[in-house]
């Protein structure tokens, strides 16, 4: 009896410890391996319950597995069950014992045992497309998407404890071609002591590329006898010695304050983004091409935002930050950026011109519009209701104006012909708008002061015969 109990006990222990093997068609297995590959001996794969493989499973083997993502080893034995969630913007794969998964709503690190060891503050399901790449040399590269800029990321590194690390940047510089050396009319003379003759050898006008050949030629030139010895044989042969002429190529000199970019990439960038006031916001990426074609002093701009013109010449250095609620863009000579945590307007030289007093980042992001007809709109975020804003209008001097009290606002010189009691002379530096409450049209100064009430011209109706 006791023996039977022991056998039953060992049987259930064995069953509990047995691993479920994913039964797939061999062609499907090879397709998964080719597409995703094994990393640290594990592969993330959906657990497909093939009805033709049911005989290989017990009743409890596929419980909670069918149709869900699992990690299997090289024998397709399930090592990590679906206790994790998949990230949206990257496929999970192990590296150095860690893998990026989702814990709650945030990206997290999971070890090969299926344990969550670290949860980051990166939202997994967001339009910012945050990414936590696989570990390499003990560090994981992070791409944190910006709220305002769609195609730009804050890039940094994390260790397995979640601490930010500034890694050493090793730059591989491609060596420039060695100077070309050409030797013209090189006469080699050798003096033979046992005879009274001079042998002369003429070297053709070819490039000497091998260092060994160049050394032989120079050593032969050094063995030429001096003038006193040569004079003894002037009667037999007149020998002229021409020294070699070397042509060296000077190293390339790069201009300063220029963002090096290939011509095709520059044209594509200008097509994708509209350049206004000859200023364009770019991320100074220091890739292989940039390192090889830039002045070494310009490396201080690496991985920073700055403004360039259409020729990629740096016009505004990275003395500003990016606001969280919108993308900086020039219009009418002004651009809104962040400095010391506040939203300010700078001119095309980078000089601060207008202080708004609004926080550039926070729980609720304030926004500002670009200038149009000398007026910009401030959107002040409500601290209680997300998405609710109060609006204010300012002019190019930073003064608040009351233009937002009118609808259909536009420059007066564009609309004055619709009204009977206004002339072109009166439209200078003025707007025309319609009152929000009464529907009446007014001539308005830039300060928001109403100058006069306007009267629409009567609309002439066509005769009924012409309408028909």
Instruction: Quickly list DSSP for 334-351.
Output: BEEEEETTEEEEE-TTS-
Same CATH fold assignment for domains 85-168 and 263-404: no
Please provide the CATH number assigned to the domain covering 263-404: 2.40.128
C-beta neighbour count of 378 within 10 angstroms: 21
Bridge partner list, 337: 344
Mean residue pLDDT of the chain comes to 77
Taking 60 as the threshold, does the pLDDT of residue 196 lie above it?
Answer: no
More confident residue, 380 or 182: 380
**For residue 344, what pLDDT is reported?**
95
Work out the pLDDT band at 193, boundaries 50, 70, 90. very low
**For residue 347, what pLDDT is reported?**
94
Q: 372 with 332: CB under 8 angstroms?
A: yes
Distance linking the first and last C-alpha atoms of the chain = 110
Q: What whole-number distance in Å separates Cα of residue 74 and Cα of residue 33?
A: 9
Taking 80 as the threshold, does the pLDDT of residue 173 lie above it?
Answer: no
DSSP 114: S
**For residue 195, what pLDDT is reported?**
42
Average pLDDT of span 5-30: 65
Work out the pLDDT band at 465, boundaries 50, 70, 90. low
Q: What whole-number distance in Å separates Cα of residue 378 and Cα of residue 382?
A: 13
Average pLDDT of span 116-120: 91
* DSSP secondary structure of 240-287: ---------PPPP-PPSSB----HHHHHHHHHHS--BTTBEEEE----
Taking 80 as the threshold, does the pLDDT of residue 229 lie above it?
Answer: no
Average pLDDT of span 377-383: 87
**For residue 328, what pLDDT is reported?**
92
Give the count of alpha carbons within 13 A of 357, CB side only.
6
Work out the pLDDT band at 329, boundaries 50, 70, 90. very high
Per-residue CA distances from 61 to 15, 55, 279 (Å):
10, 11, 63
Taking 80 as the threshold, does the pLDDT of residue 319 lie above it?
Answer: yes
* DSSP secondary structure of 403-451: GGGEEEEEEHHHHGGGBSS--GGGGTTEEEEEETTT--EEEEETTS-EE
The class of domain 85-168 in CATH terms is: mainly beta
Per-residue CA distances from 56 to 10, 13, 24, 60, 338 (Å):
22, 20, 11, 12, 63
**For residue 339, what pLDDT is reported?**
93
Tokens representing residue 320 in the block: 């500003």
The pLDDT tens digits for 360-375 are 988 788 999 999 878 8
* DSSP secondary structure of 139-165: EEEEEEE-SS-TT-EEEEEE-TTS-EE
What residue ranges do the domains of the chain occupy?
18-82, 85-168, 181-250, 263-404, 410-453
Alpha-carbon 287 to chain mean position: 10
**For residue 241, what pLDDT is reported?**
44
Among the listed ranges 18-22, 148-152, 203-207, which one has the minimum average pLDDT value?
203-207
Taking 90 as the threshold, does the pLDDT of residue 46 lie above it?
Answer: no
Q: What whole-number distance in Å separates Cα of residue 414 and Cα of residue 408?
A: 12
Tokens representing residue 431 in the block: 């707007």
Alpha-carbon 53 to chain mean position: 47
CA angle 186, 192, 196 (to 5 degrees): 110
**For residue 230, what pLDDT is reported?**
44
**For residue 16, what pLDDT is reported?**
42
**For residue 468, what pLDDT is reported?**
52
**For residue 460, what pLDDT is reported?**
61
Highest mean pLDDT pick, 143-152, 268-277, 439-448, 457-466: 268-277
**For residue 73, what pLDDT is reported?**
92
H/E stretch holding 289: helix 288-292
The pLDDT tens digits for 387-435 are 788 888 888 888 887 766 677 777 888 888 889 899 888 888 788 888 8
User: Which long-range CB contacts under 8 A does 435-441 form with residues at least 24 apart?
Assistant: 435/405, 435/406, 435/407, 436/405, 436/406, 436/407
Taking 80 as the threshold, does the pLDDT of residue 359 lie above it?
Answer: yes
Alpha helices in 101-224 (DSSP H): 211-222
Q: 362 with 355: CB under 8 angstroms?
A: no
The pLDDT tens digits for 257-295 are 999 988 888 888 888 888 899 999 998 888 888 888 888
**For residue 155, what pLDDT is reported?**
81
């Amino acid at each position: 009896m006791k023996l039977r109990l022991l056998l039953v006990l060992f049987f259930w222990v064995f069953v509990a410890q047995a691993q479920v093997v994913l039964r797939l068609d061999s062609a499907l297995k090879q397709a998964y391996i080719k597409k995703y590959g094994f990393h640290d001996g594990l592969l993330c794969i959906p657990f497909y319950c093939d009805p033709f493989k049911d005989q290989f499973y017990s009743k409890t083997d596929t419980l909670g597995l069918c149709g869900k993502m699992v990690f299997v080893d090289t024998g397709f034995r399930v090592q990590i069950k679906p206790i994790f969630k998949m990230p949206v913007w990257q496929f999970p794969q192990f590296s150095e014992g860690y893998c990026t998964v989702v814990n709650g709503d945030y990206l997290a690190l999971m070890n090969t045992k299926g344990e969550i060891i670290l949860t980051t503050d990166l939202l997994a399901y967001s339009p910012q497309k945050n990414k936590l790449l696989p570990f390499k040399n003990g560090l994981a590269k992070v791409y944190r998407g910006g709220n305002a800029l769609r195609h730009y990321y804050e890039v940094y590194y994390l260790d397995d404890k979640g601490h930010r690390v500034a890694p050493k940047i090793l730059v591989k510089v491609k060596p420039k071609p060695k100077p070309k050396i050409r030797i013209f009319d090189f006469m080699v003379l050798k003096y033979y002591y046992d005879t009274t003759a001079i042998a002369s050898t003429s070297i053709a006008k070819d490039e000497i590329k091998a260092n060994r050949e160049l050394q032989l030629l120079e050593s032969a030139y050094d063995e030429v006898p001096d003038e006193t010895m040569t004079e003894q044989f002037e009667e037999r042969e007149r020998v002229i010695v021409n020294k070699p002429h070397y042509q060296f190529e000077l190293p390339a000199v790069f201009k300063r304050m220029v963002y090096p970019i290939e011509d095709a990439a520059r044209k594509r960038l200008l097509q994708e983004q509209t350049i206004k006031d000859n200023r364009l916001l770019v991320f100074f990426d220091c890739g292989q091409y940039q390192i090889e074609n830039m002045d070494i002093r310009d490396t201080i701009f690496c991985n920073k935002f700055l403004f360039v013109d259409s020729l990629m010449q740096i016009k505004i250095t990275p003395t500003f930050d990016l606001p969280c609620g919108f993308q900086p863009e020039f219009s009418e000579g002004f651009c809104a950026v962040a400095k010391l945590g506040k939203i300010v307007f700078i001119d095309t030289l980078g000089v601060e011109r207008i202080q708004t007093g609004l926080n550039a980042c926070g729980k609720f992001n304030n926004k500002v519009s670009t200038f149009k007809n000398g007026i910009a709109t401030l959107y002040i975020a409500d601290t209680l209701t997300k998405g609710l804003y109060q609006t204010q209008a300012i002019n190019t001097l930073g003064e608040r104006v009351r233009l937002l009290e009118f609808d259909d606002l536009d420059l007066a010189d564009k609309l004055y012909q619709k009204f009977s009691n206004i002339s072109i002379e009166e439209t200078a530096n003025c707007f025309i708008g319609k009152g929000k409450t009464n529907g009446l049209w007014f001539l308005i100064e830039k300060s928001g002061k109403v100058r006069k009430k306007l009267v629409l011209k009567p609309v002439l109706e066509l005769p009924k015969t012409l309408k028909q």
